Amino acid sequence: MKVIIGSESEIAKKAAAQYVKLLVNKPGAVLGGATGSTPLGLYAQLVKLNKEGVISFKDVKTFNLDEYVGLDGSHDQSYRYFMNTNLFDHIDIDPANTHVPDGINTEKAAEYDGMIEAAGGIDLQILGIGVDGHIGFDEPGTPIDSITHVVELEQNTREVNSRFFRSIDEVPTHAVTMGIKTIMNARSIILMAIGKSKAEIVKKMIQGPVTTDVPASILQLHPDVTVYLDDEAAALL
């Protein structure tokens, strides 16, 4: 794993530079998307670079990691809504080329890996990390060979994510998520972590044993992962 440490704005710019390099070489790249507060700085950079004409998403396809079960794209806490409002609505991407797992027709989860493969596979996957080490919504214990599937969310994950809902009762109990294998199939991976609440799990991910108890630690086995950390998230390394 390559580890890059800097301020929040520095790491957003450095991660964005990785996208510029990819899109200049491969304008029809396939990008893996993530939600959460962590990639927001990166997405703002991508919007800026697109407006400045440095990069175009005209031929890009995207596949997001996950979606809550039961929320459709019009729900303001759905990950489809998040992607539209924080990225897709502000860049020159064709909405038909953007994919988020279907949180309503969950039987379609089984088709998602095939769709990614048919598009040529993911060139660059962006990831955040949950305080329990989850990536996407692959909670501790998720098998290493898992593909896109429905998961029951850990109570702790629901509590952490309840900050975006009126109350914890409104946080969905299940989600559809790419599996560990789906994520590991990406040719390159960027994982970003910001803030002191992530410091302990970041240490386990990078310096701890590879174990399904810490799903993000499995990334140690991937040949092309760059981890971008702010100083607080890197504090225990």
**Given candidates 37, 156, 173, 207, which one binds ligand GLP under the rule CB under 6 A?**
37
Task: Tell me the closest approach of the beta carbon of residue 169 to ligand GLP, in angstroms.
Answer: 18
C-alpha to C-alpha distance for 237 and 119, rounded to whole angstroms: 37
Footprint (CB under 6 A) of ligand GLP, residues 112-141: 128-130, 136-137
| Chosen residue from 16, 30, 49, 65 binding ligand GLP by CB under 6 A | 65
Q: Are strands 149-152 and 66-68 parallel, antiparallel or unpaired?
A: unpaired
Give me the residue label for tokens 């950390």: 229
Question: One-letter amino acid identity for 71?
Answer: L
The verdict on 34 binding ligand GLP (CB under 6 A) reads: yes
Size of the site for ligand GLP (CB under 6 A): 14
Q: How far is the CB of 79 from ligand GLP (least distance, A)?
A: 8
**Catalytic residue (choose from 102, 113, 139, 230):** 139
Kindly tell me which of 43 and 57 has the beta carbon lying closer to ligand GLP: 43
CB 82, min distance to ligand GLP, A = 10
The rounded distance, in Å, linking the Cα atoms of 187 and 178 is: 15
Amino acid, single-letter form, for residue 194:
I
Q: Is 134 a catalytic residue?
A: yes
CB of 58 to ligand GLP, least distance (A): 26
Among this protein's residues, is 132 annotated catalytic? yes
Which CB atom, from 162 or from 188, has the smaller least distance to ligand GLP? Answer: 162
- The Cα 138–Cα 26 span in angstroms is 29
Please tell me the distance from the alpha carbon of residue 152 to that of residue 138, in angstroms, as a whole number: 10
Residue 3's region, left for phi above 0, alpha for psi from -120 to 50, else beta, is beta
Q: Per DSSP, what are the bridge partners of residue 98?
A: 62
Residue 69 near ligand GLP by CB under 6 A? no
Beta strands in 139-198 (DSSP E): 149-152, 174-177, 188-193
Give contact residues for ligand GLP (rule: CB under 6 A). Answer: 34-38, 65-66, 128-130, 136-137, 157, 161
Catalytic residue ranges: 66, 132, 134, 139
